[in-house]
Amino acid sequence: MQKDETLDCKGLMCPMPIVKLAKKMKEFPVGKVLEMISDDIGSKEDVPAWCKRTNNQLVEMKEDKGVFYYYIKRLV
Amino acid sequence: MVEKAKRLVIVVSEDKFDKAMMSMMMANTAASMGMEVHVFHTFFGLNLLKKGKVPKLGGMMRLFTGVFVGRMKAVGIENYPAQLAMALDLGVNIYACSTTMALMRITKENMVDGVKILGAAGFLDIAADGDISLFIG
Protein backbone atom coordinates (compact mmCIF):
# COMPACT_ATOMS: atom_id res chain seq x y z
CA MET A 1 0.00 0.00 0.00
CA GLN A 2 1.45 3.31 -1.10
CA LYS A 3 2.00 5.78 1.73
CA ASP A 4 3.46 9.27 1.95
CA GLU A 5 4.25 9.30 5.65
CA THR A 6 3.98 7.16 8.80
CA LEU A 7 2.58 8.04 12.21
CA ASP A 8 3.59 5.47 14.80
CA CYS A 9 1.14 5.39 17.70
CA LYS A 10 2.27 2.10 19.22
CA GLY A 11 2.18 2.15 23.01
CA LEU A 12 -0.56 4.77 23.14
CA MET A 13 -4.04 3.98 24.38
CA CYS A 14 -7.38 5.49 23.44
CA PRO A 15 -7.92 8.39 23.04
CA MET A 16 -4.29 9.34 22.38
CA PRO A 17 -3.96 7.62 18.95
CA ILE A 18 -6.95 9.63 17.72
CA VAL A 19 -5.75 12.88 19.28
CA LYS A 20 -2.33 12.38 17.65
CA LEU A 21 -3.91 11.39 14.33
CA ALA A 22 -6.11 14.49 14.26
CA LYS A 23 -3.17 16.73 15.08
CA LYS A 24 -1.06 15.15 12.32
CA MET A 25 -3.80 15.29 9.70
CA LYS A 26 -4.38 19.00 10.37
CA GLU A 27 -1.06 19.81 8.66
CA PHE A 28 -1.07 16.85 6.27
CA PRO A 29 -1.30 17.56 2.52
CA VAL A 30 -4.69 16.95 0.91
CA GLY A 31 -4.67 13.94 -1.37
CA LYS A 32 -1.75 12.23 0.37
CA VAL A 33 -1.91 8.97 2.31
CA LEU A 34 -0.82 8.62 5.95
CA GLU A 35 0.11 5.24 7.38
CA MET A 36 -0.96 5.18 11.03
CA ILE A 37 0.22 2.32 13.24
CA SER A 38 -1.45 1.40 16.51
CA ASP A 39 -1.45 -1.55 18.88
CA ASP A 40 -4.49 -0.21 20.73
CA ILE A 41 -7.45 -2.58 20.35
CA GLY A 42 -9.79 0.42 20.57
CA SER A 43 -8.26 1.88 17.43
CA LYS A 44 -10.04 -0.77 15.37
CA GLU A 45 -13.29 1.18 15.82
CA ASP A 46 -11.83 4.57 16.69
CA VAL A 47 -9.94 5.14 13.44
CA PRO A 48 -12.79 4.28 11.04
CA ALA A 49 -15.11 6.43 13.16
CA TRP A 50 -12.65 9.33 13.05
CA CYS A 51 -12.36 9.04 9.28
CA LYS A 52 -16.13 8.98 8.88
CA ARG A 53 -16.71 12.02 11.08
CA THR A 54 -13.93 14.10 9.56
CA ASN A 55 -14.76 13.11 5.95
CA ASN A 56 -11.40 11.48 5.31
CA GLN A 57 -10.93 8.14 3.58
CA LEU A 58 -9.75 4.94 5.22
CA VAL A 59 -8.25 3.43 2.09
CA GLU A 60 -7.05 0.22 3.71
CA MET A 61 -6.70 -1.40 7.10
CA LYS A 62 -4.70 -4.46 8.04
CA GLU A 63 -3.62 -6.29 11.17
CA ASP A 64 -0.48 -8.20 11.95
CA LYS A 65 -0.10 -9.91 15.33
CA GLY A 66 -2.10 -7.34 17.27
CA VAL A 67 -0.68 -4.32 15.47
CA PHE A 68 -3.03 -2.37 13.22
CA TYR A 69 -1.98 -0.51 10.09
CA TYR A 70 -4.34 2.19 8.80
CA TYR A 71 -3.95 3.94 5.47
CA ILE A 72 -5.77 7.24 5.59
CA LYS A 73 -6.16 9.60 2.66
CA ARG A 74 -6.81 13.24 3.47
CA LEU A 75 -9.77 14.39 1.39
CA VAL A 76 -10.62 17.76 2.93
CA MET B 1 -21.81 19.98 0.99
CA VAL B 2 -20.03 20.01 4.34
CA GLU B 3 -22.18 18.65 7.15
CA LYS B 4 -22.55 20.94 10.18
CA ALA B 5 -20.28 19.89 13.05
CA LYS B 6 -21.82 17.83 15.83
CA ARG B 7 -22.14 19.65 19.13
CA LEU B 8 -21.11 17.83 22.31
CA VAL B 9 -22.19 19.30 25.64
CA ILE B 10 -20.70 18.04 28.91
CA VAL B 11 -21.63 19.05 32.45
CA VAL B 12 -19.08 18.35 35.18
CA SER B 13 -20.28 18.58 38.77
CA GLU B 14 -17.58 16.74 40.74
CA ASP B 15 -13.86 17.24 41.16
CA LYS B 16 -12.48 13.74 41.62
CA PHE B 17 -9.73 12.35 39.40
CA ASP B 18 -11.89 9.91 37.45
CA LYS B 19 -14.58 12.48 36.66
CA ALA B 20 -11.95 15.04 35.74
CA MET B 21 -10.10 12.71 33.39
CA MET B 22 -13.29 11.38 31.78
CA SER B 23 -14.52 14.87 30.98
CA MET B 24 -11.30 16.00 29.33
CA MET B 25 -10.63 12.73 27.52
CA MET B 26 -14.11 12.80 26.00
CA ALA B 27 -13.77 16.48 25.16
CA ASN B 28 -10.37 16.02 23.53
CA THR B 29 -11.51 13.01 21.53
CA ALA B 30 -14.61 14.83 20.30
CA ALA B 31 -12.58 17.92 19.39
CA SER B 32 -10.17 15.65 17.50
CA MET B 33 -13.16 14.34 15.55
CA GLY B 34 -14.20 17.82 14.48
CA MET B 35 -16.99 18.23 16.99
CA GLU B 36 -17.83 21.49 18.69
CA VAL B 37 -17.39 20.88 22.41
CA HIS B 38 -18.80 22.78 25.39
CA VAL B 39 -17.93 21.77 28.95
CA PHE B 40 -19.84 23.39 31.80
CA HIS B 41 -18.29 23.16 35.27
CA THR B 42 -20.64 23.60 38.19
CA PHE B 43 -20.52 22.96 41.97
CA PHE B 44 -17.46 20.89 42.81
CA GLY B 45 -16.59 20.59 39.14
CA LEU B 46 -15.51 24.20 39.34
CA ASN B 47 -12.55 23.19 41.52
CA LEU B 48 -11.06 21.50 38.48
CA LEU B 49 -10.57 24.86 36.78
CA LYS B 50 -8.44 26.29 39.59
CA LYS B 51 -4.83 27.00 38.64
CA GLY B 52 -2.59 24.07 39.53
CA LYS B 53 -5.45 21.79 40.52
CA VAL B 54 -4.40 18.13 40.59
CA PRO B 55 -7.47 16.00 41.29
CA LYS B 56 -7.37 12.84 43.41
CA LEU B 57 -9.54 9.74 43.49
CA GLY B 58 -12.36 9.82 46.03
CA GLY B 59 -12.43 8.45 49.57
CA MET B 60 -10.02 5.65 50.41
CA MET B 61 -9.00 5.36 46.76
CA ARG B 62 -7.23 8.68 47.15
CA LEU B 63 -4.04 6.84 48.03
CA PHE B 64 -4.10 4.99 44.71
CA THR B 65 -4.31 8.09 42.53
CA GLY B 66 -0.59 7.86 41.80
CA VAL B 67 -1.00 4.30 40.53
CA PHE B 68 -3.62 5.40 38.01
CA VAL B 69 -1.65 8.43 36.95
CA GLY B 70 1.41 6.25 36.41
CA ARG B 71 -0.45 3.63 34.40
CA MET B 72 -2.05 6.28 32.21
CA LYS B 73 1.25 8.02 31.64
CA ALA B 74 2.72 4.69 30.51
CA VAL B 75 0.18 4.57 27.66
CA GLY B 76 0.58 8.19 26.66
CA ILE B 77 -2.26 9.73 28.63
CA GLU B 78 -0.94 12.73 30.53
CA ASN B 79 -2.33 13.96 33.84
CA TYR B 80 -5.32 16.27 34.31
CA PRO B 81 -3.59 19.68 34.00
CA ALA B 82 -2.12 18.57 30.66
CA GLN B 83 -5.50 17.26 29.47
CA LEU B 84 -7.17 20.57 30.38
CA ALA B 85 -4.44 22.53 28.60
CA MET B 86 -4.86 20.29 25.55
CA ALA B 87 -8.60 20.85 25.55
CA LEU B 88 -8.18 24.62 25.57
CA ASP B 89 -5.58 24.30 22.83
CA LEU B 90 -7.96 22.18 20.71
CA GLY B 91 -10.68 24.82 20.96
CA VAL B 92 -12.86 23.10 23.52
CA ASN B 93 -15.11 25.69 25.19
CA ILE B 94 -14.57 25.55 28.94
CA TYR B 95 -17.16 27.28 31.13
CA ALA B 96 -17.34 28.13 34.83
CA CYS B 97 -20.79 28.42 36.39
CA SER B 98 -21.13 32.03 37.54
CA THR B 99 -23.23 31.22 40.63
CA THR B 100 -20.88 28.46 41.79
CA MET B 101 -18.02 30.94 41.47
CA ALA B 102 -19.76 33.22 43.94
CA LEU B 103 -20.78 30.40 46.33
CA MET B 104 -17.31 28.91 46.46
CA ARG B 105 -15.52 32.25 46.31
CA ILE B 106 -13.57 31.36 43.19
CA THR B 107 -12.57 34.31 41.03
CA LYS B 108 -11.47 34.44 37.40
CA GLU B 109 -7.91 35.05 38.65
CA ASN B 110 -8.04 31.77 40.62
CA MET B 111 -8.79 29.84 37.44
CA VAL B 112 -6.68 28.86 34.44
CA ASP B 113 -6.66 31.16 31.42
CA GLY B 114 -9.26 30.64 28.74
CA VAL B 115 -12.21 29.81 30.98
CA LYS B 116 -15.49 31.52 30.04
CA ILE B 117 -18.06 32.45 32.65
CA LEU B 118 -21.64 31.35 32.02
CA GLY B 119 -25.00 31.07 33.79
CA ALA B 120 -27.55 28.26 33.58
CA ALA B 121 -29.73 29.86 30.92
CA GLY B 122 -26.73 30.69 28.78
CA PHE B 123 -25.59 27.11 29.07
CA LEU B 124 -29.03 25.65 28.34
CA ASP B 125 -29.22 27.77 25.22
CA ILE B 126 -26.06 26.01 24.02
CA ALA B 127 -27.27 22.59 25.20
CA ALA B 128 -30.62 23.00 23.42
CA ASP B 129 -28.81 22.72 20.10
CA GLY B 130 -26.50 19.98 21.31
CA ASP B 131 -26.38 16.65 19.52
CA ILE B 132 -24.85 14.83 22.47
CA SER B 133 -25.23 15.69 26.16
CA LEU B 134 -23.14 14.03 28.85
CA PHE B 135 -23.38 14.53 32.58
CA ILE B 136 -20.24 13.65 34.48
CA GLY B 137 -20.85 13.85 38.17
Side-by-side strand order, sheet with B93-97: B116-118, B93-97, B36-41, B7-12, B132-136
Q: Do A18 and B33 touch (CB under 8 A)?
A: yes
Q: Do B35 and A22 touch (CB under 8 A)?
A: no
pLDDT at A1: 80
Task: For residue A14, indicate whether it is catalytic.
Answer: yes
Given 1.10.357.10, 3.30.110.40, 1.10.1040.10, 3.40.640.10, which CATH number is that of A5-73? 3.30.110.40
* Distance between B119 CA and the closest CA of chain A, angstroms: 30
Query: Which residues from chain B sit within 8 angstroms of residue A13, using beta carbons?
Result: 75-77
Query: Which residues from chain A sit within 8 angstroms of residue B34, using beta carbons?
Result: 53-54
Min mean pLDDT across A29-43, B1-15, B43-57, B91-105 is at B1-15
Residues in chain A predicted with pLDDT less than 70, given as ranges, are none
Complex prediction ipTM: 0.90
- Mind listing the pLDDT tens digit for each residue in B60-117? 999 999 999 999 999 999 999 999 999 999 999 999 999 999 999 999 999 999 999 9
Angle, CA of B24, B25 and B31, to the nearest 5°: 85
- Provide the 3-class DSSP secondary structure of residue A72: strand
Residue B1 pLDDT > 60, yes or no? Answer: no
Question: Of these residues, A3, A12, A14, A37, which one is catalytic?
Answer: A14
Cα–Cα distance for residue pair B68/A58, rounded to 1 Å: 33
- Mind listing the domains of chain B with CATH numbers? 7-136 (3.40.1260.10)
> For residue A21, what is the nearest residue in chain B, using CA coordinates?
B32
Q: Is the pTM of this model over 0.80?
A: yes
Cα–Cα distance for residue pair B88/A17, rounded to 1 Å: 19
